[in-house]
Amino acid sequence: MSSLDSARETNIRNIETKTGKSLADLRKVINKSGLTKHSDIRDMLREKFDLGYGDANSLVHYAKMTDGQSAAQKSGTSIDEIIDELYTGKKADLLPVHKEVMNKIEKFGDFETVPKKGYLSLRRMKQFAMIGPGTKGRLEIGLNMKGIEGTSRLESLPPGGMCQYRVFLTKASEVDEVLINWLKLAFDSAG
């Protein structure tokens, strides 16, 4: 079992312990509620089971199998198929940029690629980067690292988010030494 699978299973077990119900029972509670909107279900779970925001949010994804990992497992979709789905239509021009970034990261060593809804999570002991199509026809890379001063290119993000920094790319030529160094720093800091 990968470290991500293990963490996910631990999270589910903790939620089951907090609520006193199995994931199957919690799915029934959600279905019986008649709620369909993610935020409404999350709020109901927070109120009914006194769950924190993160646990309730995760539970909605696990129960509805809407997180990328569950959806991929459920459908038997490969990582390559998920990547192809991410970069369709107007986002197709970003696929070569994505591939160039991934080619550089693969030279660093072993890591996991975990599909999420709309992006890929790149993990070692913990997530070091997120990569996927962003807004305005740009590839978005989220980076987890510390001790770097933000720049006009390396945007610092508010504390408490999934990443401390992000970078937007529009063409493969932007995968330069500076970006590779940031990716390597994030990779090394993740374990």
pLDDT of residue 103: 95
- Quick one: which of 56, 76, 77, 68 has its CA closest to 11? 56
pLDDT of residue 4: 52
Reported as a pLDDT band with limits 50, 70 and 90, residue 124 is confident
114 sits in which H/E element: strand 112-116
Reported as a pLDDT band with limits 50, 70 and 90, residue 68 is low
46 HSE (CA, 13 A, CB side): 13
pLDDT of residue 176: 96
Whether 115 and 69 have beta carbons less than 8 Å apart is answered as yes
Q: Is the pLDDT score of 126 beyond 90? A: no
First to last CA, the chain: 17
Reported as a pLDDT band with limits 50, 70 and 90, residue 168 is very high
pLDDT of residue 47: 92
Q: Is the pLDDT score of 94 beyond 60? A: yes
Question: What is the percentage of the chain residues whose pLDDT exceeds 90?
Answer: 45
**Which residue type is seen at 62?**
Y
Taking the model in full, what pTM does it have?
A: 0.65
Q: Is the pLDDT score of 77 beyond 70? A: no
- With left for phi above 0 and alpha for psi between -120 and 50, is residue 168 left, alpha or beta? beta
74 sits in which H/E element: helix 68-75
Reported as a pLDDT band with limits 50, 70 and 90, residue 10 is confident
Round the average pLDDT of the chain to a whole number and report it. Answer: 86
Reported as a pLDDT band with limits 50, 70 and 90, residue 2 is low
Least confident of 63-67, 118-122, 130-134, 162-166: 63-67
Reported as a pLDDT band with limits 50, 70 and 90, residue 185 is very high
